[in-house]
Amino acid sequence: MAPSSLQSELLAQIDDFIVFISCVEGLSPETVRAYGQHLEAYADWCESHAVDGLDPSSRGLRSYLAEFRRDGRASTTVAAHLSTLRSFFRWLEYSGHRAGAVPLATVAPKQRRELPHVLTAEELAALFDAPDLSCPAGLRDAAMLELFIATGARISELSRLEVGDVCVAERQVRLLGKGSKERIVPLYARAIEVYERYLENGRPNLLRPAAFGGDACRAVFVSDRGRAMNSDALRYRFDVLKRRAGISSDITPHAMRHTFATELLGGGADLRSVQELLGHASLSTTQIYTHLTPDRLKSAVARAHPRG
């Protein structure tokens, strides 16, 4: 069945929006893919319910979101879909297209904010012992883990890392975060040592199996076949190391980022500095880590309070 004229217009606007957030705003491929999936689900629902997707009623939008709840989806999923719709409708207004105000006014479901998982010292030690340092792939895996914990980078940021982004002389790395925002993160001596060992003894051997040019020659992390590794490839290697280390299956690469932030705050770093190192746009996002470091807060009160 051919789509209606309203459906065709909605799909055309969605396509333009995806191009905008990808090429103009420079959002990560993972974010662009998520937005596309959310809007595809919305367009399908609008077509099946004969709803004008560019001007939905408040009742219609509540009905759409209610289907997620009836399916047992988490409130975070509902909030993510609503957030995507808000971004889409703000873009429609910005672009001069007609846009309903309902998505912008709809209140997101209240979410229970869960504390992020942080690795223990024992888990970190087991994880760092997992790579086989006698082979090129093991040197690569060790460098990946070291840069994870040294920088607090997202896995997408590590996958985009190029050799020129790591300055050994200055002991720092340039990361490209959300919205193509750059930030510089200093590296400690151990991270530089592990990275240099991989760069000298591991990466050249990994590039040999196939003389791929272009991105593979610039990418820091390359596969056993000499190809640049994307986020999925790095995540797979992390899972292999996690199983080898015998640590919880709940641990994800993002837990390394949480551990990085928590360790810094526990060591006395101020919240603003941690915000900058993580690349958070809002300080409120970084503040969740203060719940994990009560001892640090007690120490701060004891040092700074006049009656402490």
How far apart are the C-alpha atoms of 158 and 227, rounded to whole Å? 15
Q: Name the residues annotated as catalytic.
A: 154, 178, 254, 257, 280, 289
| C-alpha dihedral, 287 to 188 to 234 to 227, nearest 10° | 140
How far apart are the C-alpha atoms of 84 and 61, rounded to whole Å? 13
How far apart are the C-alpha atoms of 160 and 165, rounded to whole Å? 10
Element (H, E) at 41: helix 29-48
Please check whether residue 88 is in contact with residue 20, taking contact to mean a CB–CB distance below 8 angstroms. no
In eight-state DSSP terms, residue 186 is E
How far apart are the C-alpha atoms of 144 and 173, rounded to whole Å? 13
Distances (CA, A) of 182 to 126, 218, 279: 32, 18, 8
How far apart are the C-alpha atoms of 209 and 25, rounded to whole Å? 37
- Residue 246: phi and psi, rounded to 5, are 75, 30
Q: Where are the beta strands (DSSP E) in 218-297?
A: none
Q: What is the DSSP string of 2-39?
A: PPPHHHHHHHHHHHHHHHIIIIIS---HHHHHHHHHHH
Tell how far CA 69 is from the center of its chain.
Answer: 25
In eight-state DSSP terms, residue 222 is B
